[in-house]
Amino acid sequence: MIDWARLPSLSSLRAFCAFVQTGSVVEAGVALNVSHAAISQQLRSLEAHLGAPLFDRSSRALELTADGRELARALDDGFGRIATGVEALANADAQRPLNVGCTPTFASAWLMPRLAGFQVEHPGIDMIVTPSPILTDPSPGGIDVAIRFGNGGWAGLECERLLASPIVVVGAPSLFKGNTPSEPRDLVTYPWLEELGTTESSTWLAAHGLANEKVLSRTHVPGNLMLDGARNGQGVAVSTRIAVAEDLAVGRLIAVFEDRLDAGYNLVTRPGVQRAPLKAFLRWIRREAAKT
């Protein structure tokens, strides 16, 4: 264990190290971006603290004493190791891929089509998109940012609205055969599709006073298949307007109900420091969202 109290001020050690490396008080000042006077005083205070002369001041140019050279070696080693460690961290940090968590639906409908643009802008940053229907929290070394649907309120996380998007219930035109449901209750006569691990359909039904109704059928499918199924007319699905925007536009799906709630997709991050790649991604995705 290091006895910090016995160490001289780190500034003075740094000044000494810089002086040794540059060979002059003036240049050491340049290296540390301070005036030569600052260096001069630090060197003096270092000598005073150690109680040993480090320089032979008999000529104009300072020369190291034997003691001084010994200390110089130690400092060069020590600070060198520290600098290396810090650099390594900065690099490792920049290179670890950026991990984005979101729902499979959002990933395929909104994120993936745009992601190429980000990678063109930031060729150095590798990415992992982790689609998962369940809420996975950002964690150090894991997910950097999650894109979640909802209206915030996740404890211990920072949340920022990315895109407002109403919840919609969709189905293929072939499913309704021109007989579009007009009441939520009408939907219980249709088969339902639901993402594995979620209960969005129940939640939606409950929100519309149909908590105890039994629907025709419920099919749980892996996330990315839910909308595929809906497009094929296999049932109705609860989704978000954003996720099905394209399908609605080309008429592949019909939105039979749309909730005007203050909900949407959010950027969810850990509070505190954000590493550089994450910051770049957040800047980019905010801009993309604003384009919509």
Size of the chain in residues: 292
> Residue 3's binding partner, choosing from a second copy, DNA, none, with beta-carbon cut-off 5 to 8 A by kind?
a second copy
CB of 274 to DNA, least distance (A): 14
- Classified as helix, coil or strand, 93 is helix
When computed from its CA atoms, the radius of gyration of the chain, rounded to whole angstroms, is 31
CB of 160 to DNA, least distance (A): 17
25-64 mask for a second copy (x: CB under 8 A)? ------xxx----------x--xx-xxxx-xxxx------
Question: 110, 267 in Cβ contact below 8 A?
Answer: no
User: Which phi-psi region, left, alpha or beta, contains residue 51 (left: φ > 0; alpha: ψ -120 to 50)?
Assistant: left
Q: Which of 292, 239, 268, 222 is nearest to 100 (CA)?
A: 268
> Residue 88's binding partner, choosing from a second copy, DNA, none, with beta-carbon cut-off 5 to 8 A by kind?
a second copy
Residue with Cβ nearer a second copy (18 or 243): 18
* Segment contacting a second copy by CB under 8 A, of 90-98, 118-126, 165-173, 208-216: 90-98
Q: List, in sequence order, every residue forming a beta bridge with 241; answer none if it has no partner.
A: none
Q: Is 14 in the site for a second copy (CB under 8 A)?
A: yes
CA atoms within 13 A on the CB side of 183: 6
For 22, the enclosing helix (H) or strand (E) is: helix 10-22
CA angle 226, 232, 234 (to 5 degrees): 65
Cβ neighbourhood burial of 139 (10 Å; 0-12, 13-18, 19+): exposed
**Among the listed residues 92, 116, 249, 250, the single contact to a second copy using CB under 8 A:** 92
CB of 228 to a second copy, least distance (A): 37
Q: Is 202 in the site for a second copy (CB under 8 A)?
A: no
Sheet strand arrangement including 236-240 = 217-221, 191-195, 236-240, 167-171, 254-259
* Segment contacting a second copy by CB under 8 A, of 196-204, 234-242, 249-257, 264-272: 264-272
CB of 57 to DNA, least distance (A): 5
How many residues lie near a second copy (CB under 8 A)?
Answer: 65
CA distances from 82 to 78, 79, 210, 215 (A): 6, 5, 64, 65
Residue with Cβ nearer a second copy (11 or 136): 11
Q: Is 90 in the site for a second copy (CB under 8 A)?
A: yes
Q: Which residue has the tokens 């001084």?
A: 68
* Segment contacting a second copy by CB under 8 A, of 77-85, 178-186, 193-201, 248-256: 77-85
Footprint of DNA on this chain (CB under 7 A)? 9-12, 15, 24-26, 29, 32-38, 40-45, 55, 57, 59-62, 156, 271
195 phi and psi, to 5 degrees? -70, 140
151-170 mask for a second copy (x: CB under 8 A)? -----x--------------
- Give the interface with a second copy as residue ranges (CB under 8 A): 1-8, 10-11, 13-14, 17-18, 21, 31-33, 44, 47-48, 50-53, 55-58, 65-67, 70-71, 73-75, 77-90, 92-93, 139-141, 156, 270-276, 279
